[in-house]
Structure 1
Amino acid sequence: MNLNFIPTFLTIVRKKSISAAAEHMYVAQTTVSQRLNVAEKELGFKLIERGKGVKNIVLTPAGEEFLRLAEQWENIYNDLQILKKDGPKLDLNIGSIDSFNTFFLHNIYKEINNTPSIYLNCHTLHSSEIYAGVDNKTLDIGYALIHRNFENVHVKKCFESDLVLIRSGSIKNATVHPLELDPQYELFMPWGEEFKGWHNYWWDPLSIQKIRIDDIHLLLDILKNPVYWAIVPEWIAKTSSRNHDVSIQHFSESPPPYTCYELTHKNPSSSKRSAIDHFHTYFQNVK
């Protein structure tokens, strides 16, 4: 079958009539009908039901199946045109913890969106899932808060920020001591192993926080209640203060910094290595 018929068939389906398809394609209706008849003869089955008084086209069961294949062909054809115009497509699967995805990587995603040759699949995951994904190559780049040893995973520190206290309303003092805070009203987020050790030093690890959270947007929403407080990276606190009524305080007994690690596979393919190098360029520009 002549593949040039596929755009005609898709136009017929999308315009819902042969006459509307012909008008859209700037050809005679008889030309479209002839193309349809020739294609059905070559295929050996009818694509469209014929009947008097039928204004909109109705696909046969075979036509429905052919539509699925035609749409796949269209996607492949479009990808080929992009390949001819822009060269090989660079695609990346990225997994990151929520905080880094939301407040840092989204700036990179916006920049890359203007680059037609790079395609991203972005996922918000827990650190353990990110390590596993990079190890088995379902993820090309990962951003996690913990440092682990995996045989196939290269780990490097890529970002660091002080941890500060935020709560709603105005606060006079620029600093706060951990023991001034009631732990039952903390909106707790896990910022890595070193932070956990610092946290357990100042507050009983067996004490129960009313709310534990792993979503930074949910944290900021609950924080509107002035009874609650939270410990977050300073760069998140400053960004949040521009859009929310929150005050920032530093600790007189400082917690360890928020540290984010970048994970990549030790043996990526050449195409993946090229895509990762491009991503690193954007990362450094945003950083």
Structure 2
Amino acid sequence: MNTIEIEAFLAVVNYGSLTEAASSLFLSQSTLSHRITQLEKDVGMPLINRGRGLRSLTLTPNGSEFLTIAREWMDLIHKTKEIQTNKRELKLSIGAIDSAQSYILAPIYKILNHLKQKIDIRILTLQSSELYSLLNYGDIDIAIGHFEQPTPSMVIKKFSSEKMVVISKGILPTYNGLLIDQELDTGDQLYYGFNISFRSWYDRWIGDREYPTIHVDTANLLHTFMDDEKKWAIVPLSMANCMEETDHVSMYRLKNPPPDRICYQIRKKYPRENAVESLNIFDSCIELIRDQKAPKSFHLYRDEN
């Protein structure tokens, strides 16, 4: 049994006739028929019904079972060819939460995009809770998320931190440059509850005021609902800086602000071999952004190792 025989068998299955299958493979019907016959000898059982009067070829019961094996065989051949073709390419799969993708990792992605050394980059936007399982299964090589989940097989480090501020299209009353918490109408708030520590702070901060009626979990939804001057939200500074330009919002500081928003970098202790060089390049891009001290909306932690 070999690949050309499997290919002939799958062509007959796909087209249902020797004529069309042979044409698709640029073979004569006799050559295709010979390959099918040889395959049946190799596997020791008939695979295709060849009775007279049949308008289309059909599989025997054994042929139907063998079809799964044939498809798996060709799938392995294709994957092997992909490995051979891309063996010199660097690959990197990055998973991150929505706000980190758009406002923290964006300058790093710009540098990666302009590197002369080609890196095949795959980027996934995920919830923090999904990152660890995808890392564990090898679907991503590095993750940027909101919380630490101690795992023996992972290395978790602080990646970035930033202040939390209030944004609004309207003019909010301030005293000595600060917003007074109790004077904010939470009925007009767009609640962006991105992690557990913020939600815990918020439950204490809101006191006996009413909870907001609109809860969102992505920055894009904030753009959608920030549609009048009464609406306001508490967001990370990197997001506020961007929305100041795109949505013409104003930024305010709270008298009693939430704790700084911290993002964590998560990697496997022992990454796959062909991702090590790409991860090192990613680290170099982080260092470049850090050394430029830009953007100023967030702080990137230095690797202490």
3-state SS in 2 of match to 1:188: strand
Question: Structure 1 residues 91, 238: closer, same or farther in 2, change over 3 A?
Answer: same
Tell me which of 246, 249, 254 is aligned to 1:247.
249
Distance in structure 2 (CA, Å) of the matches to 1:11 and 1:38: 15
> Hey, what does 1:17 align to over in structure 2?
17
> Hey, what does 2:47 align to over in structure 1?
47
- The number of residues matched between the two structures is 283
3-state SS in 1 of match to 2:267: strand
Question: Retained in 2: the 8 A contact 1:164–1:251?
Answer: yes
Question: Structure 1 residues 286, 5: closer, same or farther in 2, change over 3 A?
Answer: farther
Question: Structure 1 residues 224, 34: closer, same or farther in 2, change over 3 A?
Answer: farther
> Hey, what does 1:155 align to over in structure 2?
156
Distance in structure 2 (CA, Å) of the matches to 1:59 and 1:119: 42
3-state SS in 2 of match to 1:19: helix
Give 1:12 deviation, angstroms.
2.7
3-state SS in 1 of match to 2:77: helix
Distance in structure 1 (CA, Å) of the matches to 2:221 and 2:21: 49
> Hey, what does 1:70 align to over in structure 2?
70
Give 1:6 deviation, angstroms.
1.5
**Do structure 1's residue 33 and structure 2's residue 33 form an aligned pair?**
yes
Question: Retained in 1: the 8 A contact 2:186–2:209?
Answer: no
Give 1:37 deviation, angstroms.
1.8
Distance in structure 2 (CA, Å) of the matches to 1:71 and 1:276: 34
Distance in structure 2 (CA, Å) of the matches to 1:222 and 1:53: 67
Q: Equivalent pairs: percent with the same residue?
A: 26
**Worse-superposed segment, 19-28 or 95-104:** 95-104
- The residue correspondences of 1:224-235 to structure 2 (distance < 5 A) are 224=227, 227-235=230-238
Give 1:31 deviation, angstroms.
1.1
Give 1:195 deviation, angstroms.
4.8
Question: Structure 1 residues 67, 258: closer, same or farther in 2, change over 3 A?
Answer: same
Give 1:26 deviation, angstroms.
1.6
Structure 2 segments unaligned to the other structure (5+ residues): 291-305
**Worse-superposed segment, 179-188 or 205-214:** 205-214
Give 1:73 deviation, angstroms.
1.7
Distance in structure 2 (CA, Å) of the matches to 1:2 and 1:217: 52
3-state SS in 2 of match to 1:4: helix
Distance in structure 2 (CA, Å) of the matches to 1:19 and 1:108: 51
Structure 1 segments unaligned to the other structure (5+ residues): none
Give 1:69 deviation, angstroms.
1.9
Could you tell me the TM-score, scaled by structure 2's length?
A: 0.68
Give 1:32 deviation, angstroms.
0.8
> Hey, what does 1:265 align to over in structure 2?
268
Question: Retained in 2: the 8 A contact 1:86–1:117?
Answer: no
> Hey, what does 1:276 align to over in structure 2?
279
Question: Retained in 1: the 8 A contact 2:162–2:260?
Answer: yes
Distance in structure 2 (CA, Å) of the matches to 1:205 and 1:266: 46
> Hey, what does 2:191 align to over in structure 1?
188
Give 1:5 deviation, angstroms.
1.0
Question: Retained in 2: the 8 A contact 1:93–1:138?
Answer: yes
**Deviation string for 1:132-156 (max 9, x for gaps)?**
7768988642322235665554333
Give 1:252 deviation, angstroms.
5.7
Aligned amino acid, residue 177 of structure 1: L
**Deviation string for 1:163-208 (max 9, x for gaps)?**
34344x5659997725342123322223557655765675328753
